[in-house]
Amino acid sequence: MINVPVGTKDILPSERPAWDYLCNIIHETFKAYGFGEIRTPVFEATELFSRGVGDTTDVVEKQMYTFEDKGGRSLTLRPEGTAGVVRSYIENGMASLPQPVKIFYDMPIYRYEKKQKGRYREFTQCGVELFGSSSATADVEVIAMVNTIFARLGISDIQLVINSIGCSHCRPAYNAMLKDYFKSNEDKICETCKGRLDRNPLRILDCKNPDCHSLADNCPKITDHLCPECAEHFEQVKAGLDALGIKYVVDPFVVRGLDYYSKTVFEFISTGIGSQGAVCAGGRYDGLVEILGGPHTPAVGFAMGIERMLLHMESCGLLDKICAPKPKLYIAAMGQQAVLEAERIAYALRTKGVYVETDIMSRSFKAQFKYADKIGAEYTLALGDNEIATGKANLKRMADGQAEETDLSTIVDKF
């Protein structure tokens, strides 16, 4: 017996309707905001992530599935979606398209992480990237899109947390202040954060270690040290959200785990699904296109974790009514001619796109009706020698037992 690899799981046909329901609403919403879907390869050159996501991030340092292919290239299963989309944007000359360019994706993501509820090694992200606009209105639209998705799903209890982490003008000075602050308390921070001190002090704010966390409480806050441009941009983001009635909390400790962010960062947190509460996260990344070899291009985006969204929806009972599609019609048949006629009708209806079932188990009539009931068929049709001889059969609506004599030659037109 060979088991599924640790941290991965099968999505069974019985679970898939919930996925379809959620992902259809997400895709429809993305399209309503003018985003078009992209598919990029599952693996990319390793350098795309080390350069794009950042060498000192947990994702690149610890979580990548990296391998050498038979041609000696270093490849990596994508540990996030943005770098690949940015690569494609540059490689396909999308910078010369009318701006903004709005792209969405729905893709499996791979991270070598400790398996926990809501934390897997293969998981799915639906996300968007909006290229070409530096306006705070773009940030607001991207955040509003997540709220639209929640509203359509009936979700009301997820909290939006926002912050600004500044830009290449103001962040270096802030980083230096952070470094000074944590250097003077170096004995109190974890080993990983000691390593981060010189390379990436902002990361310490993100550390899950309780000692680092409580020490961070009194550190200088980025929101007090933004340059005028970033401060103004952040005010505009907040004003834009206020104007739409979108509630948020400003949290100066939200810094995000990937290096490419600048200015706005945000997370949507569910409190009902345990410690893996972030269901969606994103922000602005004005420097990334340039870092990856393209022209300077402001951009903003987010990624939503589909497994965590489903956990949240399940915890609030929002998936209770979602079930597998039920057949419109079950055709019970007994006798060689009847079985052939059942197949003929089923074939014609299925070709019209109607979901029909008929017996392929050679069951008794009684057992066929029992099965039709079990799978929740809306109508049943019973075909035996008599029905074949007269060309007429009873079409029965299962909900109320109402039956109607129907011509077999025209039954296909009834659906």
Residues found near ligand ATP in the complex (CB under 6 A): 80, 111, 113, 118-120, 123, 125, 257, 276, 278-281, 303, 305, 307-308
User: What is the closest distance, in whole angstroms, from the C-beta atom of residue 218 to ligand ATP in the complex?
Assistant: 23
User: What is the closest distance, in whole angstroms, from the C-beta atom of residue 1 to ligand ATP in the complex?
Assistant: 25
Phi, psi at 297, each rounded to 5°: -145, 115
User: What is the closest distance, in whole angstroms, from the C-beta atom of residue 356 to ligand ATP in the complex?
Assistant: 38
User: Of 58 and 341, which CB lies nearer to ligand ATP in the complex structure?
Assistant: 58
User: Of 11 and 239, which CB lies nearer to ligand ATP in the complex structure?
Assistant: 11
Give the helix, strand, coil percentages of the chain, each rounded to 5. 40, 20, 40
User: Of 113 and 314, which CB lies nearer to ligand ATP in the complex structure?
Assistant: 113
Q: In what order do the strands lie in the sheet with 65-68?
A: 43-45, 74-77, 65-68
User: Of 44 and 80, which CB lies nearer to ligand ATP in the complex structure?
Assistant: 80
User: What's the token pair of residue 381?
Assistant: 């049709």
- DSSP per-residue string spanning 151-179: HHHT---EEEEEEE---TTTHHHHHHHHH
d(CA 80, CA 391): 60
Report how many helices (DSSP H) and strands (DSSP E) the chain contains, helices first: 14, 16
Conformation bin of residue 107: beta by default, left when phi > 0, alpha when psi is -120 to 50: beta
Q: Strand, coil or helix: what is 52?
A: helix
User: Of 150 and 379, which CB lies nearer to ligand ATP in the complex structure?
Assistant: 150
Angle, alpha carbons 338-341-346 (nearest 5°): 125
User: What's the token pair of residue 115?
Assistant: 């398996």
User: What is the closest distance, in whole angstroms, from the C-beta atom of residue 308 to ligand ATP in the complex?
Assistant: 4
User: Of 279 and 372, which CB lies nearer to ligand ATP in the complex structure?
Assistant: 279
| Residue number closest to ligand ATP, CB atom | 305
User: What is the closest distance, in whole angstroms, from the C-beta atom of residue 60 to ligand ATP in the complex?
Assistant: 12
User: Of 124 and 368, which CB lies nearer to ligand ATP in the complex structure?
Assistant: 124
User: What is the closest distance, in whole angstroms, from the C-beta atom of residue 365 to ligand ATP in the complex?
Assistant: 49
User: Of 143 and 395, which CB lies nearer to ligand ATP in the complex structure?
Assistant: 143
Query: For residue 65, what are the β-bridge partners?
Result: 77
User: What's the token pair of residue 279?
Assistant: 């269901």
User: What is the closest distance, in whole angstroms, from the C-beta atom of residue 122 to ligand ATP in the complex?
Assistant: 8
CB 181 within 8 A of CB 162: no
262-to-40, 156, 384 alpha-carbon distances in Å? 24, 28, 71
d(CA 41, CA 49): 13
102-to-44, 279, 285, 360 alpha-carbon distances in Å? 22, 22, 14, 48
User: Of 59 and 382, which CB lies nearer to ligand ATP in the complex structure?
Assistant: 59
CB 295 within 8 A of CB 72: no
